[in-house]
Amino acid sequence: MINVAVIGLGNMGKHHARNYATMLDVRLVAVCDLNQDLANATARKFSCAAYHDYKLMLANEKVEAVSIVVPTKYHKEVALYCIEQRLDILIEKPISATVAEADEIIAKAKEKKVLLQVGHVERFNPAVRRLKEIIKEGKLGEVTSIIARRVGAVPIQVRDANVVVDLAVHDIDIINYLYESKVDHISGNIGKAMIEKREDYAEIFLKYGNRSGFIQVNWITPIKIRNLSVTGSKGYAELNYLTQELVIYESNYTKEITDEYGDYVIKFGVPNKTQIGVEQIEPLFLELTDFMNCVKTRERPLVSGEVGLEALRIALEVMGSKNNSE
């Protein structure tokens, strides 16, 4: 039985608590939030202890692993304290506010031999996992471009991050994951349309050699869209993050000689469309299950500190490209 606690009970933290409470061989022993009433209500719901001070919680409770779901600017402070207590930690994305802070967290976790996982939850979306398999099986041929749209209204709970660091970082990580390579060119168009103090829209272009990634992200579109499309030499895939729907279009084309010089013309027929069966499971449950399994086995997490750092580095470089252009 693994004793786990949750620090921070905002929009994501409450779902961490809910999922831990349903797991076998896991005991949610305590939750913590600066809002004591919220902590008390959550604790009553899941039959655990409630605290408003995480240091007091860790002093009083026997805890082995912790979800850190506080605002990004507090990630370093809370993570380093938990690591000093030799607790395995999952930090919600982004790993930290700066690359230097992320480096410090990663180094301290290695020094103390503590397991560190970063909460890039889309890697655990069953549709993304199946798409990854399809790409590796070669069914799409050579993938040349990946396009992501992650748009919708501004979330009221996000108050300390811009749309790139808070939202686009999801798709930056997924594109890295699908390509399995490092980005070599980063550019972006970023601005403020409705929020005075924070960037609320961006279009981001990433190059991986001859392959590309494009991300449209904003907090100004009145409907919520979470889509990913992948184009390859043999086919095309469309994925809906929210519904976990995945559709594959296999190319159906022939090459014909058009004249005596031997020039070819490619003729496309109707593509073969396949709705891929995906078992719908909450990605956060799968992510936290993976975290608990890594705590037990001491295996390296799918989303290690270094993985989280790379996504953050790209997001901050996108922001830097905006500042350099002004």
Q: Are residues 197 and 272 in the same domain?
A: yes
Within the chain, residue ranges assigned H as helices are 13-22, 36-46, 54-60, 75-84, 99-111, 126-136, 163, 169-179, 283-297, 305-325
pLDDT in tens, 176-216: 999 999 999 999 999 999 888 889 999 999 999 999 999 99
Q: Are residues 299 and 317 in the same domain?
A: no
User: Angle formed by the axes of helices 169-179 and 126-136, to 10°?
Assistant: 30
pLDDT in tens, 131-153: 999 999 999 999 999 999 999 99
Q: Which pLDDT score is estimated for 324?
A: 47
The percentage of residues in the chain with a pLDDT greater than 70, rounded to a whole number, is 92
pTM recorded for the entire structure: 0.92
Q: Are residues 162 and 87 in the same domain?
A: no
Task: Report the C-alpha dihedral over residues 146, 179, 242, 154, rounded to 10 degrees.
Answer: -70
Q: Which pLDDT score is estimated for 41?
A: 98
Q: Are residues 35 and 99 in the same domain?
A: yes
CATH code of residue 203: 3.30.360.10
DSSP 8-class letter at 167? I
Distance from C-alpha of 104 to C-alpha of 279, rounded to nearest angstrom: 38
Distance from C-alpha of 292 to C-alpha of 294, rounded to nearest angstrom: 5
Number of domains present in the structure of the chain: 2
Give mean pLDDT, residues 267-286: 88
pLDDT at 277 over 70: yes
Contact 103, 309 (CB under 8 A): yes
Q: Domain containing 244: what range?
A: 123-282+312-325
Q: Are residues 260 and 179 in the same domain?
A: yes
Q: Are residues 159 and 141 in the same domain?
A: yes
Residue found under tokens 């990946």: 146
Neighbours of 263 (CB within 10 A): 9
Q: Are residues 131 and 257 in the same domain?
A: yes
Neighbours of 135 (CB within 10 A): 20
